[in-house]
A = this chain, B = another copy of it.
Amino acid sequence: DTLTHFDSMGQAHMVDVGDKHSTHRIAVATGAIYMSARAFEHLQPNVNKKGDVLGIARIAAIGGTKQTAQLIPLCHPLALTRVAVEFELDEINLSVRIEVTAETVGRTGVEMEALTGVSVGLLTIYDMLKAVDKGMRIQDIQLQAKSGGRSGKWVRDSAS
């Protein structure tokens, strides 16, 4: 039961993936941001002349996936082959859910890229709306599924 990011002496390293097969890898991560009714109004797509908060957050999320290896110390740099970002508005709970799918053909998984995309997308929504609500809260950033690589497919237990 060891952490792969540490060697047998407990020293951090970028773990060797040179022997791993180059396979198609996919990761899906999600998260949400909860806000006041006043802030939520600004996300309505049909409100005229309002700025496109979610469009900008989508671009930021994609940009975040590309900067993952610069942010997470032991992450391997890798060449993403696909990134997609979906938003879902929840009018009852006054929240936006973001889902980021990241893919590559390579030797390492893309979980961190998907999770970083989620985080940067939500932070960008916060930044865009903080003039009307500083108290927004980011919740439930988590991996939903991954596939590819030696460890194969993993899907989040729906009960969690």
Contact = CB atoms under 8 A, between A and B. Distances in A.
A27 to B, nearest CB: 10
Interface of A: 1-7, 9-18, 24, 31, 38, 42, 49-53, 55-56, 58-60, 62-67, 69-86, 103-107, 111-112, 115-116, 119-120, 122-124, 126-132, 134-143, 146, 154, 156-157, 160
- How many of these chains are in the complex? 6
Nearest to A139: B139
Contacts of A49: 9-10
A112 B2 CA distance: 31
Nearest to A78: B79
Given A50-B6, A135-B156, A81 B85 contact: no
Residue among A12, A104, A140 with the highest chain B CB neighbour number at 10 A: A12
